[in-house]
Structure 1
Amino acid sequence: MFLTEEDRNEIRNQLGQLKNETELILFSQKIGCEYCTETEQLLKELTETLSNLKLVVYNPVLDETISKKYGVDKELPVIGVKSSTNPNTENVKFLGIPAGYEFTWLLSLINMVANDKYPLQPSTVDEIRKIDSLLGLKGAELELMVFVTPTCPYCPIMTINSTSFALLAKNIKALLVEVSEFPHYAQQYSVMGVPKTVLKLKVGDVIKEAFIEGALPENKFVEKIKEFIEKNM
């Protein structure tokens, strides 16, 4: 058991009655996945705590169609979210178990999708929508790849903001990676500390990258994104 009764009461007080029916989606398998069982148990306890929230578990081999839709291959577990009230939920994925400080991200994800509550300033929302429109006009896509660990107190700043941006924008995706579970990413992207964010701009077959070390407040994060896009598009 992950959640005590005290934890459950605190979660209910924090999120209240969920307004929109929401699904947590878990891509998992029993064999060859170190944290799949624990992740499923954590999400199950959370969905038992909140009404209007349910868990759907898929196997990427048996459920090939939806796995392709979410871009899930062999790296597991992967957490996604779905709601009929938000067309951009497929833009968000978390690789690994959202334990430790990243449990804050999970609760924030639910609050955004189920209650339409985004932890952003109105000016930030406006800027993200402008960026999304520009990306759409150019046929481009921006991916925010954020590397985190459960013991990092600053990581949720970047995972929550990246998730907010992706849920508000058709052309922005958030890929959040618990890097200690996927060490090949640490090697590939030279992750020496967390949070580390990779900005990936895809225009046709061309991919441009930039890196942000550490946590930034939302306005500075948006400025970095705008500068990166203006330089490369």
Structure 2
Amino acid sequence: MGFINEKDKKVLSERLSKLEKPVKLIYFTQEMECQFCKETHSLMEETAELSDKITLEVKHFLHDKELADSYKVDKIPAIMVLGENDKDFGIRFFGIPAGYEFMSLLESMEMVAKEDSGLSPASRETLKKLKDPLNLQVFVTPTCPYCPKAVVLAFRFAMESELVTSAMIEATEFPALSNRYNVSGVPHTVIGDSMQPMVGAYPENAAMEMIAAAIGLEG
């Protein structure tokens, strides 16, 4: 039995038929020592079948290490969402995007196909002031209904700025990483090297202000 039932497949296929440009999913996996790699692989295959504008490339975490390193993939399962001509907007998934997080995957593909972050002019101007790379790590669980809002917003920031990389991290799949960042509730966004996490899902303007304050960026 698959992850997506037949009724949902029809709805999703119709929605994804409106993708403006091609989307590529690059999935890094391996057979051993990866609890959810098999399930994630199945979900990615089902997702790619929803639209002829979605292609899936499966890569081995160890055998394709050079490629994994180029995308800074250091844990699996990992999914990169690329745009037309393999354009990388810095959108990453670490862990299976199941449950509520499938919506994050869906919206990320739509965003990449459109090549527009949809951010407000104020947020766009703030992100233009970035001078150094910024990594946003959004810790989630599949049963968290508020998490996709935080994940997709982080993806919008990455979409807008070449200096931003944003990742969904499924907290229960990476307990050591969750403990490292003292994740006790989700969504929990780690802002670069800052010790000021953003806990909860916030409106765009509030989140942008919190990120700017955490990294000392003038808003």
Global fold match (TM > 0.5): yes
Q: Determine the structure 2 residue equivalent to 1:5.
A: 6
Q: How does 1:64-79 map to 2 (within 5 A)?
A: 64-73=65-74, 75-79=75-79
Gaps of 5+ in 2: none
What code does the residue aligned with 1:7 have?
D
C-alpha separation in 2, matches of 1:159 and 1:171: 17
Q: Determine the structure 2 residue equivalent to 1:94.
A: 93
Give the deviation of 1:228 after TM superposition.
Answer: 2.4
3-state secondary structure, aligned to 1:46: helix
Q: Determine the structure 1 residue equivalent to 2:158.
A: 166
C-alpha separation in 2, matches of 1:127 and 1:225: 14
Give the deviation of 1:86 after TM superposition.
Answer: 7.6
What code does the residue aligned with 2:178 have?
A
1:129 aligns with 2:124: yes
1:217 aligns with 2:203: yes
Contact 2:81 2:88 in 1 (8 A): no
Q: Against the structure 1 CA distance between its residues 66 and 127, is the aligned structure 2 distance closer, same or farther, given a 3 Å change threshold?
A: farther
C-alpha separation in 2, matches of 1:167 and 1:86: 14
Q: Determine the structure 2 residue equivalent to 1:107.
A: 106
Q: Determine the structure 2 residue equivalent to 1:42.
A: 43
Give the deviation of 1:117 after TM superposition.
Answer: 5.6
What code does the residue aligned with 2:81 have?
V
Give the deviation of 1:31 after TM superposition.
Answer: 1.2
The TM-score with structure 1 as length reference comes to 0.86
Give the deviation of 1:41 after TM superposition.
Answer: 0.6
Give the deviation of 1:76 after TM superposition.
Answer: 0.9
What code does the residue aligned with 2:128 have?
S
1:31 aligns with 2:32: yes
Contact 1:20 1:85 in 2 (8 A): no
Identity over aligned pairs, percent: 35
Comparing 162-171 and 12-21, the one that deviates more: 12-21
C-alpha separation in 2, matches of 1:154 and 1:208: 23
Comparing 8-17 and 217-226, the one that deviates more: 8-17
Runs of 4+ in structure 1 displaced over 6 angstroms? none
Q: Against the structure 1 CA distance between its residues 29 and 16, is the aligned structure 2 distance closer, same or farther, given a 3 Å change threshold?
A: same
Q: Deviations over 1:106-134 (max 9, x none)?
A: 1001111123464x45x2xx234323322
C-alpha separation in 2, matches of 1:111 and 1:175: 17
C-alpha separation in 2, matches of 1:222 and 1:187: 25
1:15 aligns with 2:16: yes
How many residues align structurally? 218
Q: Determine the structure 1 residue equivalent to 2:181.
A: 189
Contact 2:188 2:198 in 1 (8 A): yes
C-alpha separation in 2, matches of 1:186 and 1:64: 24
C-alpha separation in 2, matches of 1:151 and 1:131: 32
Q: Against the structure 1 CA distance between its residues 67 and 86, is the aligned structure 2 distance closer, same or farther, given a 3 Å change threshold?
A: closer
Q: Determine the structure 2 residue equivalent to 1:82.
A: 82
Give the deviation of 1:79 after TM superposition.
Answer: 0.8
3-state secondary structure, aligned to 1:180: helix
